[in-house]
Structure 1
């Protein structure tokens, strides 16, 4: 189990770096576009398409597992004050199982969508420039897949273990 937790932490670190890189690149790209547009009247082509199809998807879906690792996504606290330690344990496990199933289903469906878009070579047109968008579709199942792994581990490993 320790090996699985180390693998998960390694993957979360890689995804955190990818997410941070996406945000920094987004900022640099947009700033460069604004500066070039206002100084030499020559904006960077397809900035809007790249921002919406790459950077925003990375910013939205890559951090899912990171947030789940910290326990910041799904929490059921409506009846927690009425439950004892054993009831809390089972309530947490039930939420973890439901979250795992939902994340797993989302990962599977978005994986199939990514494969379909890869096969067809999905792109958008920015004036006359073709911007391939199919690679960004793989970020979504990646985020959901690692969130699935994170919640699945939480089913079997007590929260005290995860915080060590």
Structure 2
């Protein structure tokens, strides 16, 4: 921003770097957000149920998250491999940014998010069987 104002010209490649960085940041933090209990959670109706009902609903939510991130992971593998093998770049001219790191971060980030949801699903299945309240990975408890 300062360079654009001082030199009356944008820094070349800023758009490409920022767009790929946003993808990397979002997908790298997805697994952590799930593990720390920071994902969006609306429990207006779920909190009214018994501990077993809450655990069953947590199982349904974890299964939905597992399927969602699993599908993204599976669907991203081919694009990441293509970006690697074809040496794909984004941008033209003075700065060309390789695309494959961001594509592989999507695969890795969604795999970690799926794994987190799988662990949460298994823990909540056990809690539902034993009639206990749902488990979260939040460290604030």
1:161 CA displacement: 7.4
Tell me if 1:45 matches 2:12: yes
* Equivalence for 2:100: 134
1:26-105 → structure 2 map (5 Å cutoff): 34-35=2-3, 37-39=4-6, 44-53=11-20, 55-105=21-71
> What is the aligned-residue RMSD (CA, Å)?
2.6
CA shift at 1:76, angstroms?
4.7
Which structure has more RCO (C-alpha within 8 Å, separation ≥ 6)? 2
**Does structure 2 retain, via aligned residues, the 8 Å contact 1:76–1:95?**
no
Listed as ranges, the gaps of 5+ residues in structure 2 are 125-134
Give, in whole Å, the separation in 1 of the partners of 2:137 and 2:13. Answer: 47
* Contact 1:62–1:139 under 8 Å retained in 2: yes
Which of 103, 122, 126 matches 1:156?
122
For these two proteins, the number of residue pairs brought into alignment is 130
Which structure 1 segments of 5+ residues have no match? Answer: 1-30
Give SS of 2:91's match: strand
Deviation at 1:98, TM superposition (A): 1.8
How far does residue 78 in structure 1 lie from its aligned partner after superposition?
4.3
Deviations 1:16-54 (A, max 9, x none): xxxxxxxxxxxxxxx6xx34x55567864312211212x
